[in-house]
Amino acid sequence: MTWLPGLLLTTFVIGTDDFIIAGILPEIATDFDVSEAVAGQLVTVFSLVYAAAAPVMAVVTARLPRKRLIVGGLAVFAVVNLVTVFAPNYAALMALRVAAALVAATISPAAFAIAGRLAPEGRTGRAIGTVAAGLTVSLVIGVPLGSWIGGTFGWHATFVLVAVLTTIAVAVTALTLPGLSETSVAGVRERLVLLRRPAVLACVIGTIIGATSGLMPYIFIAPLIGDVSGAERSLVPVAIGLYGLAGAAGTVIGGRLNDHWGTDRAVIALLVVVLGSTIAMTMTGIAFGGSAPFWLLAALIVVWGGAGWAYNPPMNARALQLAGAAGTEAIALNTSGLYIGIALAGAIGGGALNLAGGIAVLLAASGIGLINLVVMTVAVRRYPSVPMAQSAATRTGSP
């Protein structure tokens, strides 16, 4: 699978560009004379635009050759990030972040769908997991590197870095991605009908609830660590680094579980692990009265982070299998569900934090996680997924 590194690079540069803003907010706020809260809206707007645009752009670009879409989209992404260096004011920077979100929302779901289409029989989950690993690797490598460069040379240098990395991705995908034959006969209306299938919608609902539960502790990881273990603030980056490493390994493990166990079994098993580790963190905080050993909490974070990101490949594989000819559109819709879940996690988790601290965040995440386990258990029984080898015979559209 010589084409796989290029798709991994694609999600890596998108993840770096998406997450990096949080690391350079102070520099942006100072340069444009706005508060950090206002600068933080760059993150919010990017997420909202991505969530809204992903399914729309998937339908709009459905007829474009896949290689041209990925390579051309990455080239535009590089240009947008390079132009961002010269943003004269906050409004211009916001407009460029909207442009970046539109491009990211177009090419990221396509990368996952291409991986599912090109993967040899029995290795679909592994291929999707490798592509998903680009997002977690960006948390471990891209974001810390970009934050350091931004703090040392200014926030402009961070976007130069993203532009350079994206240019490398352009070259790699141009050289390694095969030209995919176009077999699509389904039009826009037919694809939208496929997206309205209850099985596909149930998958997206599961992603929304799962993201709300699974990412809520990460969003509030700093106060959570303090309230559960009483650890010093200096240990927060350690916990985040462990989470990122566990997530990178988890995406690979999740892909392998998908291929060995089957998509539906992998989804439910990983949900059980995510829920169990979240409950374990909650009980640890309660049992130790907020002074749990940091090593114990760190071990639970590794399990929770690894299982949470391992959930990504089988869920995308499930969306791809259930949607037939609208595979790319289904993954795009599923990705939108992820960003909606992130927004809900911030809102619900913030309320829980204000109410009763980090333990309340974990309690909320545990309760929502239990709901998701019930929802997905019902969904996989009522709408079982079909292995790629079988679903490929019924497809009429390209990813």
Residue 395 in this model has a pLDDT that exceeds 50: no
Q: Map residue 220 onto helix, strand or coil.
A: coil
Distances (CA, A) of 388 to 62, 126, 223, 321: 20, 13, 43, 6
Measuring CA to CA, which residue among 377, 229, 216 is closest to residue 305? 216
Domains 4-176 and 188-394 share a fold: yes
**Domain 4-176 class in CATH:** mainly alpha
Confidence of residue 386 (pLDDT cuts 50, 70, 90): confident
Q: What pTM value is reported for the model?
A: 0.77
Instruction: Read off the amino acid at residue 363.
Output: L
CATH class of the region 188-394: mainly alpha
More confident call, 192 vs 60: 60
Q: Which residues contact 320 (CB under 8 A, 6 or more apart)?
A: 112, 113, 116, 124, 128, 327, 330, 331, 388, 391, 399
* Per-residue model confidence as pLDDT tens digits over 178-209: 876 544 444 555 555 666 778 888 988 999 99
For the chain, domain boundaries: 4-176, 188-394
The rounded mean pLDDT for the chain is 86
pLDDT in the model for residue 393: 44
Range scoring the smallest mean pLDDT among 297-301, 332-336, 348-352: 332-336
